[in-house]
Amino acid sequence: QVRLVESGGGLVQAGGSLRLSCAASGRTFSSYAMGWFRQAPGKEREFVAVISWRGTDTTYAASVKGRFTISRDNAKNTMYLQMTSLKPEDTAVYYCAAGTRFPIPTRVADFDSWGQGTQVTVSS
């Protein structure tokens, strides 16, 4: 498994932007599909975005498509989530995840390793 550490969360006003980072340990980062999930209080963890191991393919949840951009730098063992036009409903703990079993996984069960999460709060 790979160790994942998220950063970049914080408090932002509606309409603002944030960039989350996910730093991975180990030499096999480039073999993992990487994803972002989020979990709001009282709700289940939900899929946000995923990027293939080479970074050539991405998939987004309908709720964030056109506002969020996922990317990765395999040379730096880091994945990013650029979030723009943030809304109060984007408020959640954001988790990064790594998986090797599928090229573009989107389900929680498809991922093998998880970070500890970073809080994103969007005020209205």
Q: Where are the beta strands (DSSP E) in 8-123?
A: 10-13, 18-24, 33-39, 46-51, 58-60, 68-73, 78-83, 92-99, 113-114, 118-123
Summarised one tens digit per residue, pLDDT across range 82-121 is: 999 999 999 999 999 999 888 899 999 999 999 999 999 9
Kindly state the average pLDDT of the residues 44-67: 97
Q: Which of 80, 99, 77, 100 is nearest to 25 (CA)?
A: 77
Kindly state the average pLDDT of the residues 26-35: 88
Tell me, what's the pLDDT at 102? 85
Summarised one tens digit per residue, pLDDT across range 38-52 is: 999 999 999 999 999
